[in-house]
């Protein structure tokens, strides 16, 4: 809220406190306006607002350069290969341990 709005709002609050009660019609109009503001916006209005907000958020995104994209892709591929090898070694090792235990106890 700007400083002018704050000053106007404060001044309006003081005037309302000092002024005599206004007719009921003015209060009804204010209540009707407040109800309209509190009312839920329509379906299409909400969708339009969502798209506007999404567009403004996408403008804030810092997109990577093609070089950064290639670099990150290579790093991911290397990590997948390393993890795959680790899982393969663990699986092979666990299999050998199970086979050795079965041979030890004469089940195979």
* Cα distance between residue 67 and residue 74, in whole Å: 11
What pLDDT score was predicted for residue 73? Answer: 98
Range of the domain at 88: 64-108
Are 15 and 32 found together in one domain? yes
| pTM listed for this prediction | 0.47
Q: What is the DSSP string of 69-108?
A: HHHHHHHHHHHHHHHHHHHHHHHHHHHHHHHHHHHHTT--
What pLDDT score was predicted for residue 39? Answer: 74
What pLDDT score was predicted for residue 58? Answer: 93
pLDDT tens-place string over residues 38-78: 678 789 999 999 999 999 999 999 999 999 999 999 999 99
Are 8 and 57 found together in one domain? yes
Residue 1 has pLDDT above 70, yes or no: no
What pLDDT score was predicted for residue 46? Answer: 93
Are 70 and 27 found together in one domain? no
CB of 64 closer than 8 Å to CB of 72: yes
């Amino acid at each position: 809220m700007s400083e002018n709005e704050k000053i106007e709002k404060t001044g309006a609050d003081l005037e309302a406190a000092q002024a005599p009660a206004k007719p009921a019609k003015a209060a009804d109009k204010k209540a009707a306006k407040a109800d309209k503001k509190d009312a839920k916006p329509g379906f299409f209005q909400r969708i339009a607002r969502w798209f506007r907000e999404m567009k403004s958020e996408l403008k804030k995104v810092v997109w990577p350069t093609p070089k950064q994209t290639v670099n990150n892709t290579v790093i991911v591929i290397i990590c997948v290969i390393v993890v795959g090898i680790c899982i393969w070694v663990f699986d092979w090792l666990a299999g050998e341990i199970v086979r050795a235990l079965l041979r030890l106890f004469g089940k195979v």
